[in-house]
Amino acid sequence: MAKWRIRIRLSDDEHSRARLAEVLASQRVSTVQLTPRPGVDRGLSGDVVLELPRDDELGDMLTALHMISPQVFVSRACPDQADELDSPVAALAPAD
């Protein structure tokens, strides 16, 4: 399975985090890390590393994420990149 690193920018509010969790719930997500965006009140930048059984599912995932935020960036994750983020999937709250 291919691993993908997705960066998404979204509002720092409960609704946006809940929508992100909902989209990711049906996927094999290995890490999620959300951090405050510098210089933006109530803005988050999130890194998500996930595995998709088929590359053709990436389009559906990106479509769902674009419903949350117009700023979604994607790249292939190398195995060592997937290990550098070590936050549990449930941690959809901003890092301190």
Domain segments of the chain: what residues?
Answer: 2-84
| Per-residue model confidence as pLDDT tens for the chain (96 residues) | 778 888 888 888 888 888 888 888 877 787 788 887 777 777 778 788 887 777 778 888 889 899 988 888 888 887 654 444 444 444 444 444
pTM value is 0.68
Element holding 19 (H helix, E strand): helix 14-24
Sole residue written with tokens 């709250």: 93
Domain 2-84 is found in CATH 3.40.50.1860: no
**Distance from C-alpha of 80 to C-alpha of 95, rounded to nearest angstrom:** 22
Tokens standing for residue 22:
């909902």
* Euclidean distance between CA atoms 59 and 91, whole angstroms: 25
